[in-house]
Amino acid sequence: MRYAAAAADVKCQEKHELCALAPFWHVALLTKARELDSAWQALNSLEAHGGRPTSPRMAATQHLIRGEVLFAMGQVDDGLADVNTGLCIAERCGDRSSRPAGYVVMALGALRRADMRTCLHFVDKLTGEALLGYFGQAAGAWMTAQVAEVRTGVDSVADLIAGMITNPLVLRQLLVSQPAAASWLVRAAGKLGADDLANVVVSAVCVASAEQPRFDVIRASAAHAAGLLERDASKLCEAASHHPDGWCAASAWEDLADLLATRQREREHTVRALESALGTYTAVGATRDASRVVNKLRDFGVRRGATRVVERAGELPHGLTDTEFAVAELVSQGYTNNEVGRQLFISRHTVAFHLKKVYQKMSVGSRVELAASWEAMR
């Protein structure tokens, strides 16, 4: 961060392109550190005084960095639109260096909305960059592992998870650049029954927090990870209350609620934590996560409005409800009823009920016909 700030202040007399890009890289680091006010101010200053981009690479970088800032601030639609524009420019001009970070943002945004078609599209692009030697970022491996867990279960990526955790360089890079990574790794290690790996993650993120006390995002991530491992409600509450990343704060509230739900006489606090998680997930456009929390609230007798779990434009076709649309979207991509249920947090029997309604409304009689009609409609 110090080097980036110093580089941003140097005035290049010969107008080298890399020198002109340095201030944007500083903004990117501010964004990873979730110092979002500083990142936004620096970006606006650059755009106000820098004029029009002088090359496609400059234009791509400007869109990508702006998109990442907006995405981190919770302005998800605008952020993803900017990142997508930047990626299109980077792909046209052959600039590979900035693509992986953009692909991660696009895949993460799609995953949080249960738009698996878009998510897999960008994960495939990340894989392509890896094969060509441009992967270069721990975040790409983490994104790939998250998607694989959703599709086929955590056991299918056990080796990848272990590889990320046991490589100190990869783990360190991931923990200081992706605020949600520490808690996800601890959760995944727990599902695998690998307490030793969970302990490695918590130890590493706590060391990073102690070494860099200025960064609230690392301290909150450490509290979240430690709270999960130790089942410590106070640490989870600290993470939820102070995390500068909106989605991560919501995740900490949800984990706190899950812990409180196992204790007697904690119903009121559990519901309050779930409602905090739901409000924040909704605010940052994480409709997949919001849908999961809605179902948890229902288990406590609290009903909240259904959450749209798949992105679509305009009115729903064929008179489909939100849930029917989500089921049809996933079934048309080849998912089984069990897999659809796991992604939408409903039972396979409920999936079958909604699928029958979809068939009736769309006048189709099979999954094959549905897939063909859905593709034509798109």
Q: DSSP string spanning 315-341? A: SPGGG--HHHHHHHHHHHTT--HHHHH
Around 150, how many Cα atoms within 13 Å sit in the side-chain half-sphere? Answer: 26
SS3 call for 350: helix
Tokens of 189: 């290690």
pLDDT in tens, 351-366: 888 888 899 888 888 9
For 33: left if phi > 0, alpha if psi spans -120 to 50, otherwise beta; the answer is alpha
pTM equals 0.80
Categorize the per-residue pLDDT at 275 as very low, low, confident or very high, splitting at 50, 70 and 90: very high
In the chain, the amino acid numbered 75 is: Q
Q: Is the dihedral of CA 183, 189, 193, 198 positive or negative?
A: negative
pLDDT in tens, 154-186: 999 999 999 999 999 999 999 988 999 999 999
For 286: left if phi > 0, alpha if psi spans -120 to 50, otherwise beta; the answer is beta
pLDDT (average), residues 298-320? 65
Which carries the bigger pLDDT value, residue 231 or residue 53? 231
Task: Give the burial class of 283: count Cβ atoms within 10 A of its Cβ; 0-12 exposed, 13-18 middle, 19 or more buried.
Answer: middle
The pLDDT assigned to 353 comes to 81
